[in-house]
Amino acid sequence: MGGIYVMWKREVLRFLRSPSRIAGSLGQPLLFLVALGYGLGPVFRAAGQGNYLDFLAPGIIGMAIIFTSIFNGMQIIWDRQFGFLKETMVAPVSRLAIMFGRTLGGATVAAAQGALVLIMAVLIGFRPVSWAGIAPALVVMLLVALLFSAVGITVASKLRDMQGFHLIMNLLVMPLFFLSGALFPLSSAPQALLLIARFDPLSYGVDALRYFLTGSAAFGLGLDLLILCAVSAFFLWLGALFFSQIEV
């Protein structure tokens, strides 16, 4: 447990010591909230779907979390290239503790950014259906962040090239985001698109956030939490396996 805490603390402090990283990571979600929330709001309202900003906010929170958490794995490649990973590996800490600590640290940072995006959304006009739903929504943010932080570390454990990691992550992240129902309601999506969305784990994270923040869910909260927990457990196991096989 001590090793996990040390690695978790390292990841969190690395983030807190970079104000420019914090500010930069909030720029894109703010742009989406303002440009799409207000730009497409009249169209969404005319279609009888209500306030688009209220619908959009949980999806943009999910976007902020997945981008931050999945790119957390990039630090492994960076540390490997500059020799820091070798120093970590020879420390009297198990590789399993190192992997879990890094994953939890990245998840904590990503969930914190999701919370900041929620605050921004409230400031520009988003109103949760119930303020009591904020606490469970934060738990969902952490669960989504844990899942995709594990995905990032799983992929990074098998790569040595930073450019290759960026290419693979961009190829993975953008479809996950756009097909998750973050920008459009899955309840009225074509059946083919809905079928694809069911295989996207981010769909269940966004759906659970919508349940707690807006009171609506396409799949149901029980299924959302079941899928998120199951997929998170799988990638934590796979990431631990791949990380234990790293040769530095």
Specify the pLDDT at position 191.
Answer: 87
Coil, strand, or helix at residue 190?
coil
Per-residue pLDDT averaged across 43-54, rounded?
75
Residue 28 contacts by C-beta under 8 Å, 6 or more apart in sequence?
A: 63, 64, 67
* pLDDT: which is higher, 43 or 67: 67
> Total structural domains in the chain?
1
- Residue range 180-203: mean pLDDT, rounded: 87
Q: Among 50-54, 163-167, 190-194, 232-236, which stretch is predicted with the lowest mean pLDDT?
A: 163-167
Half-sphere exposure of 182 (CA within 13 A, CB side): 27
Q: Is the pLDDT of residue 248 over 70?
A: no
The predicted pLDDT at position 138 comes to 95
246: helix, strand or coil: coil
**pTM of the predicted protein model:** 0.89
Instruction: Tell me which residue range forms the domain holding 104.
Output: 2-244
Res 34: pLDDT: 87
Query: Does residue 101 register a pLDDT over 90?
Result: no
Q: Is the pLDDT of residue 85 over 70?
A: no
- At 52, the pLDDT band (50, 70, 90 cuts) reads confident
Could you tell me the two tokens for 180? 């998750």
Average pLDDT, integer, range 107-111:
90
Report the chain's terminal Cα–Cα distance, integer Å: 24
Q: Which residues of 167-187 are buried (b: 16+ CB within 10 A; e: fewer)?
A: eebeebbeebbebbbbbbebe
* Predicted confidence (pLDDT) at residue 7 exceeds the cutoff of 70: no
> pLDDT at residue 14 above 70?
no
